[in-house]
Chains A and B, each alone.
Chain A
Amino acid sequence: MLKIDNLHARVEGKEILKGLTLSVNPGEVHAIMGPNGAGKSTLGNVLSGREGYEVTAGSVTFNGIDLLALEPEQRAAAGVFLAFQYPVEIPGVNNTYFLRAALNAQRKARGEQELDSMQFLKLVREKLKVMQISDELLHRAVNEGFSGGEKKRNEIFQMAVLEPKLAILDETDSGLDIDALKQVAQGVNAQRSPERSFLVVTHYQRLLDYIEPDFVHVLAGGRIVESGDKTLALKLEEHGYAWVREHGEPAGASA
């Protein structure tokens, strides 16, 4: 489904990703872990097409198409979703209006029928139940005045409505207390399916107690230096990232 091959990317002239290679199949959950500055957030931003991230080498294909050639909105329509580490507050834009505009824009781009307001409302009601989000959040402006936990839950709720093929969770656990973390994880788990893949980017192992990954990769110095199953996350928790650096980083690849 997602094939990242030898990806190099720069931000503000500084090379952050230095030959990242990763393959994700439908239904798989991959955790990307790594120390601060390893390039974790850069990966999510490059995949979703944020401006200011320059790909200098390598390729990314998504279901056979060149993902890097697409505009952000085309990537979304193709099924890529990024749950932001810092969701943006947009005063004056109603949450429901925004979500319907987004869903219908994606459907239109895919040549599907747009949903009218009744159909959309029905869909939203179903998804609200799963996410345990109160209606009240829907009537507010996008993320405006939301608590940290509400913002992250709103991200996952958007994901539930948009039903992407690949969801990238960018440090979704950051800033959450344990209850909020559990709620968010529950929302994610409810959306796991044989067709949907996840890239869970996180600094801490904690999130992976609740979202169980099929694979864990360690990102350091702009590339993946170690891959394994979920036990790798536990090793990291025990030994710290210094262990990976000594243990796994190839010679000459230091950041």
Chain B
Amino acid sequence: MSQALPFVEAMGAATLPVSGIAWLDASRREHLDAFVAAGLPDTRMEAWKYTALRALAQRRFAAGDARAIEHAVDPAVFGLPGVYGPRLVFVNGVFRADLSMLDALPAGITLQPLSQALRQDAESLRFVLSRHEAEQGDAFVRLNAAMATDGVVLTLEAGAKPDAPVHLVFLGAPAEAELAWHLRTIIELGEGAELALVEHHAASGEQQHFATLVSDTYLRDGAVLRHVLLQQAAAGSSLIRRSRLQLGRRAQVSSHVLELGGALARHDVRAELAGDGARFVTRGVFMPRGRQQVDTQLAIRHQALGTASDSVWRGVADQRGRGVFRGAILVAPGADGSDASLSNKNLLLSPNAEIDTKPELEIHADEVKAAHGATVGQLDERSLFYLRSRGIPMAEARALLTVAFCRAVLDDLPVTALREHLAGLLALDLPT
């Protein structure tokens, strides 16, 4: 039955990219065949219970944008205050050297498009590129493995600590057809290396493209990653992302996430706290409105002694917006003395909005501290009246309270200029 879906049919009929690298081309064919055979996941699958792909399944996307290199892009659409370091820009899945900033890279950092890295030394990437798929990746991971020809390869040598944040920009731009594009990201931080990274999905004009991004991040012992994810994809676009992070001993990740754009924005994050004392902190906000569907799935796996994770997420749904949040924490056998906490509070601004939240906790170790909770509520009438009684109009009062509700998520973001900018985006994203 699934073969009949226009989405799958169109993808299956696409010409596979040819790299000339035997193992890669063979693997692409295998993954495309597997994708076509299995089709798209449906809501009977637990991971897709609240996100139906029926509408997506009926659409046909053209593979790739032959003219991606020509689209005029105003750099203002991806400019961010306080983010002035190396930059890699992709437009409709194609690397744009003219918009990127790769000269004068700080010492100890290697940053290049995946296409270039494959040309130089494909063999060193073979293991990583094979890894995601080897573990029963789903439809979109397979599709990405088959079709992604470009992406990011970012490596920090042991001890490297570049000052400036690295900015990865994924832009959608209007094209002649509705496009499907796919990117793959591989990031490795050597022992004791420290990196600030801004992952930025933005739009250069209205379009309804479909995109996948699969990323792997490895933190060796003592490495530190400060990550900001700003998702402002075009209102009509669909974006499916899969991120896997592996943390070595005492490695630390702090991730601040704003999910604002897209018609369908799905992000699966899998953090493996593999080394003793590894620490994973996430702060996130998702804000579906209109008919947006934003689905975040966190899977945090404590696999070593004394690992810690702390997740604070806020959801705000307005109009007919739909938010889904799943925070699954697993404390594996042997991960004694681990500390896991997760909180997801949600706000419904309209009677037609919906948020489905599901915290999960599974503990197989000893002396574990764990706390998790989720709530769904509405704006406090007393607070609204208090603000209005002081002269603040209804719409502004609602916006003020909503931003305040989300504010905790940004509080510990170290770059002040970026923090204020992001807080401003939260306010802007509210209907008045």
Contact = CB atoms under 8 A, between A and B. Distances in A.
Interface of A: 48-51, 71-73, 75-77, 81-82, 84, 87-88, 90-93, 98-99, 101-103, 105-106, 109, 141, 158, 162
A139 B426 CA distance: 21
Nearest to B403: A92
Contacts of B408: 92
Contacts of B407: 92
B332 interface: no
Given A51-B381, A51-B385, A84-B386, A103 B391 contact: yes
B133 to A, nearest CB: 43
A98 B382 CA distance: 15
A73 B386 contact: no
A73 B398 CA distance: 13
B328 interface: no
A45 to B, nearest CB: 9
A88 B382 contact: yes
A77 B392 CA distance: 9
Nearest to A106: B391
Interface residues on B, range: 20 to 34
Contacts of B397: 73
B390 A158 contact: yes
A98 B387 CA distance: 8
Interface in B381-404: 381-383, 385-394, 396-397, 400-401, 403-404
A172 to B, nearest CB: 15
B355 to A, nearest CB: 19
B400 A71 contact: no
Chain A to chain B: the 3 pairs with minimum beta-carbon distance, closest first: A92-B404, A76-B391, A106-B391
B386 A71 contact: no
Nearest to A93: B404
Given A51-B381, A93-B401, A105-B396, A82 B389 contact: yes
Nearest to A103: B391
27 contacts: A48-B389, A49-B388, A50-B385, A50-B389, A71-B394, A73-B392, A73-B393, A73-B394, A73-B397, A76-B389, A77-B391, A84-B386, A88-B382, A91-B404, A92-B403, A92-B407, A93-B400, A98-B387, A99-B390, A101-B392, A102-B390, A102-B391, A103-B391, A105-B391, A105-B393, A109-B391, A141-B404
Given A90-B404, A92-B403, A98-B392, 6 more contacts: A73-B394, A76-B388, A90-B401, A92-B408, A101-B392, A162-B391
Interface in B360-394: 380-383, 385-394
B389 A105 contact: no
B388 A88 contact: no
A17 B405 CA distance: 36
A109 B391 CA distance: 9
Contacts of B390: 76, 98-99, 102, 106, 158, 162
B388 A101 contact: no
A128 B181 CA distance: 59
A90 B386 contact: yes
Contacts of B405: 92
Nearest to B408: A92
Contacts of A51: 381, 385
A92 to B, nearest CB: 3
A162 B400 CA distance: 19
A77 B393 CA distance: 10
A252 to B, nearest CB: 35
A3 B66 CA distance: 74
B391 A88 contact: no
A51 B387 CA distance: 13
B385 A101 contact: no
Contacts of A87: 386
Contacts of A81: 389
Contact of A88 (B386, B392, B400, B403): B386
Contacts of A103: 391
A72 B389 contact: yes
A26 to B, nearest CB: 21
Contacts of B387: 90, 98, 102
A81 B390 CA distance: 7
Nearest to A90: B383
Contacts of B396: 101, 105
Nearest to A79: B391
A49 B386 contact: no
A71 B391 contact: no
A106 B385 CA distance: 15
A73 B393 CA distance: 6
Interface string B393-427: 11011001101110110000000000000000000
Contacts of A76: 388-391
Nearest to B406: A92
Contact of B385 (A72, A91, A92, A162): A72
B222 to A, nearest CB: 34
A8 B157 CA distance: 77
Nearest to A158: B390
A93 B406 CA distance: 11
A125 B398 CA distance: 28
Contacts of B382: 88
Contacts of A88: 380, 382-383, 386
Contacts of A48: 389
A250 to B, nearest CB: 33
A158 B386 CA distance: 12
